[in-house]
Amino acid sequence: MSKNAPAIQYNFSAGTFKNTSIIDGLGLQLMKLSAKMTKPMEYTGMSVAHRLLRTLLPSNRRIETDLLPGTKFVFPYGDAYWGQLLDNSCGYSDESASFLTAFKEIDYVYIDCGANYGYMSAIMTSDTYGNKPSIAIEADPGTFQILKENADLNQNRFEIMNRAIFSKSGEMVNMCGDKHEARSILDDNGDMHNGNVETLALDDLLDWADAHNTDKIMLKLDVEGVEIEAMKGAAKL
């Protein structure tokens, strides 16, 4: 299947798929079942099942879903992390949803560090959560390409940067790790490398934040073991 093939359409609220082939349609139903079965164990074992199904019933297509009214999200078929969205009985993070709803009326900007495919930036710029000015920062070059797809899919209403958050800007570091949701600039285990990326100190985002005429900033920091170094570069922020 060509990577340029039309995306599979996934109706999250109904839990149904459109525009599938026999192979990826069967694969998705089995992935959906594995997500629901592993939900009571916080999806432990789901990633193994999805990787196996991705091998047995392969497809290079994307899955596109409506997260919220006017908000879309795309992820690869067989993704061993975002496959949990195939369990439509609950949201990706109900705790985050409750927290963000409580702050909807506050005027703030959102800095999404370790944005991955851009899920949080997509929902933060929606009507549901108050259309907050947002910037999504992702270090891994391959993951960043799907982040860009999601920015494009949502009319580029949030900004994106391919940088690794660190204590100082302008250094070149290696990305390492196999799983896209856990790649890091740390290389304690000699893991595979996924390309070079330039570092960014959070204080260098002050001008971006100031341009939105608010002194309130919400920072999401999920940078796989580099959180302390990241905060060292955020003294002014």
Task: Compute the chain's Rg from CA coordinates.
Answer: 18
Dump pLDDT digits (tens) for 124-172. Answer: 999 999 999 999 999 999 999 999 999 999 999 999 999 999 999 999 9
Mean of the per-residue pLDDT values of the chain? 92
For 60, residues 6+ apart whose C-beta sits below 8 A from its C-beta are: 1, 2, 3, 5, 76, 77
Q: What is the number of other CB atoms lying within 10 angstroms of the CB of residue 221? A: 15
Selection from 78, 40, 42 nearest residue 58 by Cα: 78
- Alpha helix segments (H runs only) across 57-184: 94-102, 119-124, 141-153
Q: Which pLDDT does position 2 carry in this prediction?
A: 44
What kind and span of H or E run contains 107? Answer: none
Distance CA 69, CA 57 (A): 31
Window from 23-32, 76-85, 86-95 with minimum mean pLDDT: 86-95
Nearest partner of 71 among 14, 150, 161, 10, judged by Cα: 150
pLDDT of residue 20: 97
Tens digit of each residue's pLDDT (9 = 90 or more) over 108-120: 999 999 999 999 9
Q: What is the model's pLDDT at position 1? A: 40
Name the residue with higher pLDDT: 202 or 191: 202
Mean predicted confidence (pLDDT) in 193-217: 91
pTM of the model: 0.92
Question: Taking 90 as the threshold, does the pLDDT of residue 22 lie above it?
Answer: yes
Q: What is the mean pLDDT of residues 57-84?
A: 96
Q: Is the pLDDT of residue 188 over 80?
A: no
